[in-house]
Amino acid sequence: MENKIRVRFAPSPTGHLHIGGARTALFNYLFARKYGGTFILRIEDTDELRSTEESVRWIFDSMQWLGLNWDEGAMPDGSEKGTYGPYIQSKRESIGIYKKYAEQLVKEGKAYYCYCTTEELEEMRKKAQLEKRPPKYDGRCRNLTSKQIEEYKMAGRKPVIRFKMPDEGITSWNDLIHKELSFENKLLYDFIMIKASGYPTYNFACVIDDHMMDITHVIRGDDHISNTPLQINLYKALGWELPKFAHLSMILGPDGTRLSKRHGATSVGEYRREGYLPHTIKNYLALLGWSTKDSQQIFEKGELEEKFDLEGCQKNPATFDPVKLQWMNGEYLRKLSKKELYELALPYLKESGLDLSFPKAPLEEIVYLEYEKYKILKEIPQLLSFFFKEKIDYDEKAVTEVLKKPDTAKILSAVKETYFAIPEFKEKNIEEETRKFSKQNGYKNAQVFHPLRVAVSGRTQGPTLFRMIEYLGKDLVLKRIDDALSLI
């Protein structure tokens, strides 16, 4: 591996950072960390109509939340870190970086001004469709005369600058994931380098920037494979050395189609709001198209940075599995200390509108009661809601199948008397007295425990029964038993 690895993540700020983009950022970050390289964040905002400052902030927030700290690039406070800036393409455009190279290529006969209108381009596309051939620009402005150019100018047409693609031969490269890939040049097209607005296009700007920023490896999604031969020909026209290319596999939804919004949450911010941990997302994304030789699933802090390599990347599509993601998040939640779990759960509890001052037991203890069942932080308030209100909502099925069984009223009335007599209302004492009551009265434990749980929580499932009863407190438990008796 080269001594000076330089990789970049170059998102377009036209929305939230989605899962596919986050995976690309992660793989670049891990590659840089594995080989002691430099990880660069470049903002490619040349889509002037859709790029927004808000999207840039979302990208910064998501990257920082995931712990993908970049060594160079645009920073959240508006500054820049590194000596290869500006790291925002609109700033680079404003100082004429792209225009300079475009004009050089025109001067050398490797690019040309194109005055075709939108209508003319649409006509070309339709004609290609009728003739059952790939729609591509037909090169009609490649060799315009001075007179034709003057006429177009007089008509008020604003030109774009197109790259003059070679008509013959093959463009190939050895992709670090897909191995040898090649395209016939005659099937490529004269792509636009500079739009009529003066802004560069993606294919042009990213080549200029990657070269000027000394990028050694371009690691990106395989939807860019078709862009790569265009960019390679541009590198060659400018006489520049090529970086190494690695195209990551596509991410599919559970139904086998390309991952999209219809599959549920697709942005990092949405998963963060749902209550996934950053380490979970990082770990799970790493497994989308990459694996270790022993197919390791759970990685401790710092392990991914040590073990990642491009050799472990697969070219076949990866499937995004929400069920596995939830399982993995549960695994990481269970690794948290009681205090860590409480601090992460607290914002969700506050947001839920529950009365957090209601319980007599410490909140930290209540939150930890169900830690083995949590999959995402967002579900914690609902799982614990009966601790935070005087009157509870009863699950209808629980009332029908448990509370309305014969003998339930008799059992609950007797348990109430038993509990009233317990001097120190603690888990150990409550359990001992409840089991003693069952045995002395000839009941199976389940005959007593199940209605008791429904009476005090309104549910058939929940935390450890006797600890839950202790945390609810004697007065509230006795009152809830009374409420249950009224119900039946």
Per-residue pLDDT tens for 276-310? 999 999 999 999 999 999 999 999 999 999 999 99
CA dist 276 and 268 (Å) reads 10
Interacting residues of 194 by C-beta distance below 8 A, sequence separation 6+: 98, 99, 102, 160, 161, 200, 201, 204
Fill in the DSSP letter of residue 311.
Answer: G
Q: Is residue 330 part of a domain?
A: no
Among 214, 248, 282, residue at a domain's last position:
248
DSSP H helix total and E strand total for the chain: 21, 13
CA dist 430 and 416 (Å) reads 11
pLDDT band for position 441 (cuts 50, 70, 90): very high
134-137: long-range contacts, CB 8 A cutoff, minimum separation 24: 134/187, 136/187, 136/188, 136/189, 137/162, 137/189, 137/190
pLDDT at 94 over 80: yes
3-class DSSP state of 430: helix
* Candidate from 2-6, 217-221, 254-258, 340-344 with smallest mean pLDDT: 2-6
* Encoded tokens for 298: 């759970």
Task: Examine the domain organization and report whether 381 and 307 are in the same domain.
Answer: no
Task: Examine the domain organization and report whether 370 and 446 are in the same domain.
Answer: no
Task: Examine the domain organization and report whether 374 and 403 are in the same domain.
Answer: no
CA dist 438 and 162 (Å) reads 86
Q: Is residue 57 part of a domain?
A: yes
CATH number of 241's domain: 3.40.50.620
Rounded (5°) CA angle 87-38-285: 95
Mind telling me the catalytic residues?
261
Task: Examine the domain organization and report whether 238 and 221 are in the same domain.
Answer: yes
In which residue are the tokens 């339930």 written? Answer: 408
Interacting residues of 316 by C-beta distance below 8 A, sequence separation 6+: 249
- With beta carbons less than 8 A apart as the criterion, state whether 72 and 38 touch: yes
Among 228, 248, 268, residue at a domain's last position:
248
CA 40 to chain centre: 19
Per-residue pLDDT tens for 347-363? 999 999 999 999 999 99
Q: Is residue 325 part of a domain?
A: no
Q: Is residue 469 part of a domain?
A: yes
Domain count, the chain: 4
* Candidate from 177-191, 260-274, 447-461 with smallest mean pLDDT: 260-274
Give yes or no for a cis peptide into 86 (omega within 30° of 0). Answer: yes
CATH number of 449's domain: 1.10.10.350
CA dist 365 and 363 (Å) reads 5
Q: What is the pLDDT of residue 262?
A: 73
* R_g of the chain, CA atoms, integer Å: 32
Task: Examine the domain organization and report whether 39 and 168 are in the same domain.
Answer: no
Average pLDDT over every residue of 372-396: 95
**371 φ, ψ to 5°?**
-60, -30
- With beta carbons less than 8 A apart as the criterion, state whether 89 and 45 touch: yes
Interacting residues of 372 by C-beta distance below 8 A, sequence separation 6+: 334
Task: Examine the domain organization and report whether 135 and 235 are in the same domain.
Answer: yes
pLDDT at 217 over 90: yes
Average pLDDT over every residue of 130-137: 86
pLDDT band for position 265 (cuts 50, 70, 90): low
Domain span at residue 102?
96-248
Q: Is residue 105 part of a domain?
A: yes
CA dist 463 and 370 (Å) reads 6
CATH number of 344's domain: 1.10.8
CA dist 19 and 16 (Å) reads 10
DSSP secondary structure string, 336-355?
S-HHHHHHHHHHHHHHTT--
Task: Examine the domain organization and report whether 105 and 207 are in the same domain.
Answer: yes
* Encoded tokens for 6: 């330089």
In which residue are the tokens 């003059």 written? Answer: 164
Task: Examine the domain organization and report whether 80 and 135 are in the same domain.
Answer: no
Among 194, 221, 248, residue at a domain's last position:
248
Task: Examine the domain organization and report whether 104 and 243 are in the same domain.
Answer: yes
Task: Examine the domain organization and report whether 126 and 236 are in the same domain.
Answer: yes
Q: Is residue 331 part of a domain?
A: no
Task: Examine the domain organization and report whether 137 and 85 are in the same domain.
Answer: no
Task: Examine the domain organization and report whether 159 and 275 are in the same domain.
Answer: no
Q: Is residue 329 part of a domain?
A: no
Q: Is residue 326 part of a domain?
A: no
